[in-house]
């Protein structure tokens, strides 16, 4: 009877230890995470001009191709018209000089100079129209305005920062995890992202594992993607649960 009791107790102890080990192994791996925009930049002026319109303010959403900054372009448009006229004159001159060269009225040098003049006029026309295109700063992708750095009627110089923008359609998640996670974590693996600010949970997917391990903290970076959502903003933080 005593042996039977001891045997049953031993089996029970093995069962408890096994259940406890299973429970421990079932505990999720967690790490802190930060949401970042895939695209984020500050757009600068490519000309010196006066700002006449800033239609979007901080926090406003915009679409790819929207006009974010508009300059007073009258001078550049006038320059473009002038060089276009010079281009037409150069074309007419070359056409006439080719006829004269065939008649022997002018030499080869004069014809070469006319051809060179036409090429120069074409180059000047291209530059003038590029400056006209630079009179408007358009959104390179859809997103939101982070900060306006200039205002209407303000004159700006070349390369002056104008507006900071961030993408709203392509978000990424950055994690710093223990380096021994590389044993099991793989690109394509999904996990839950619980966001602190919104108290919502989203599904994310591992994109890439960092190239180096920090020798001091014994950690490695993980880059993941998360589906865009109206409640998610760059800079939000949360917990990644694997």
Non-local (6+) Cβ contacts of 66 within 8 A are: 55, 56, 138, 139
Q: Per-residue pLDDT tens for 140-181?
A: 999 999 999 999 999 999 999 999 999 877 899 999 999 999
Q: Return d(Cα 164, Cα 57) in angstroms, integer.
A: 10
Tell me: pLDDT of 121 over 70. Answer: yes
Domain with CATH 2.40.30.170 in the chain: 29-39+168-241
Q: Return d(Cα 76, Cα 108) in angstroms, integer.
A: 36
Q: Per-residue pLDDT tens for 173-230?
A: 999 999 999 999 999 999 999 999 999 999 999 999 999 999 999 999 999 999 877 7
**Nearest of 78, 71, 14 to residue 46 by alpha carbon:** 71
H/E run at residue 23: helix 2-26
Non-local (6+) Cβ contacts of 61 within 8 A are: 142, 143, 144, 168
Its pTM stands at 0.71
Q: Return d(Cα 118, Cα 121) in angstroms, integer.
A: 5
Residue reference for tokens 């006829």: 99
Q: What is the CATH number of domain 29-39+168-241?
A: 2.40.30.170
Tell me: pLDDT of 64 over 50. Answer: yes
pLDDT, position 26: 53
Domain with CATH 1.10.287.470 in the chain: 73-134
Local structure of 90: helix, strand or coil? helix
Q: What is the CATH number of domain 73-134?
A: 1.10.287.470
């Amino acid at each position: 009877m005593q042996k039977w009791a001891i045997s049953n107790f031993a089996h029970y102890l093995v069962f408890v230890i096994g259940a406890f080990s299973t429970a421990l192994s079932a505990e999720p791996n967690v790490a802190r995470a930060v949401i970042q925009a895939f695209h984020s930049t500050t757009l600068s002026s490519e000309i010196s001009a006066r700002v006449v319109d800033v239609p979007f303010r901080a926090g406003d959403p915009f679409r790819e191709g929207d006009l974010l900054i508009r300059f007073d372009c009258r001078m550049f448009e006038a320059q473009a018209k002038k060089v276009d006229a010079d281009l037409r004159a150069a074309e007419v001159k070359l056409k006439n000089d080719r006829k004269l060269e065939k008649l022997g009225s002018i030499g080869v040098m004069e014809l070469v100079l006319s051809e060179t003049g036409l090429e120069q006029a074409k180059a000047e026309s291209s530059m003038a129209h590029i400056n006209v295109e630079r009179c408007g700063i358009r959104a390179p992708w859809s997103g939101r305005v982070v900060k306006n750095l200039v205002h209407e009627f303000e004159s700006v110089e070349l390369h002056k920062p104008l507006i900071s923008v961030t993408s709203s359609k392509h978000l990424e998640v950055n994690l710093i995890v223990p380096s021994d996670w590389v044993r099991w974590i793989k690109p394509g693996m999904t996990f839950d992202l619980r966001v602190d600010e919104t108290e919502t949970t989203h599904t994310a997917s591992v994109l890439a594992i960092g190239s180096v391990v920090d020798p001091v903290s014994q950690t490695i970076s993980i880059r993941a993607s998360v589906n865009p959502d109206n409640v998610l903003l760059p800079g939000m933080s949360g917990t990644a649960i694997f």
